[in-house]
Amino acid sequence: MDALRSDPRSVSISTKLYQALLGVYPTGFRQEYGSQMAQVFTDRARDQHQKLGASGLLAWWGRTMFDTLQTAVEQHSQRGVDMSKQSFIKISGWSMALGSLVLFMGLLASLRPEYITYNMSSYAVDRYLNVLDTPLIIIGILMISLGLLGYLSRFSQVVGGAGRAFLVLGALCGVLSSAGAVGLAIVDHEPWWSVFIIGYTAQSLFVALFGAICLKRGLLDRWSSLPLLAGMWIPVWVIVSSGIEIVGGGWTTVYETLTFIVFIINSASMALAGYTLQADVRVSQPEVTPA
């Protein structure tokens, strides 16, 4: 505890964020190894900060985010009884559905003002929302990334090389966006906002591109348009909001209202895409060769 109190603020925040991020692991794995993993993370974060400052800490976060996504998938696949492909797809579908809602809650929490006792515009709940916003955003984006891996597992044989590439790149962009969210929490500088929003926009764009293939080939029957609808809203929002910022003037209220509506539609369509994936699990029938 003494070491934690003497750590730089960026290291202390990183430790709290990582402890929240451990929630993506299975309960048994987290209970067995969580405290040791948190300690290793803190020691390495402290060492990187001492040697390289904020850049070293953020580089360590980038590696951590990639390792976390990879290890979480492996652990969810290996714990207990062997997980079948169908089980993984179902879990990843639920992960995408719930992750979109978690992300939306994190984005809403980030809009709340900093909690100050005598500030009439802030409420008691803001003291918790101010702490939870970044962990919710990070966990939500990683859960969506896991959902994209579920889509990859389900449709890898029928979407072609381009479709597989779109899904893999979408998952990796989710890791990049999460790293940007971590950077904002640590140093709160403009470049990390760009990393966050570019990564998230790119992830959505790759989902939309996969969705176009999905729609063309009718991969989800009557729901084939869902991945395209889930992915298109954020890129469209970025284009429209950039135009609004250029126009400026009295567009502030329109911009805020449009942003809120777009994120509601995006979260709802992404949640439906995840739910549809888990409901679409089917065992492919082997081809029978005539004797």
Q: What is the pLDDT of residue 96?
A: 93
d(CA 43, CA 139): 22
Q: What is the pLDDT of residue 76?
A: 64
Residue segments in the chain with a per-residue pLDDT below the cut of 70: 1-6, 70, 73-74, 76-83, 111-131, 188-189, 248-256, 281-291
Q: What is the pLDDT of residue 210?
A: 94
Q: What is the pLDDT of residue 81?
A: 43
Q: What is the pLDDT of residue 79?
A: 55
Q: What is the pLDDT of residue 205?
A: 94
Q: Would you say the pTM of this structure is higher than 0.75?
A: no
Domain positions in the chain = 1-82, 84-279
Contact 42, 11 (CB under 8 A): yes
Q: What is the pLDDT of residue 287?
A: 38
Q: What is the pLDDT of residue 4?
A: 43
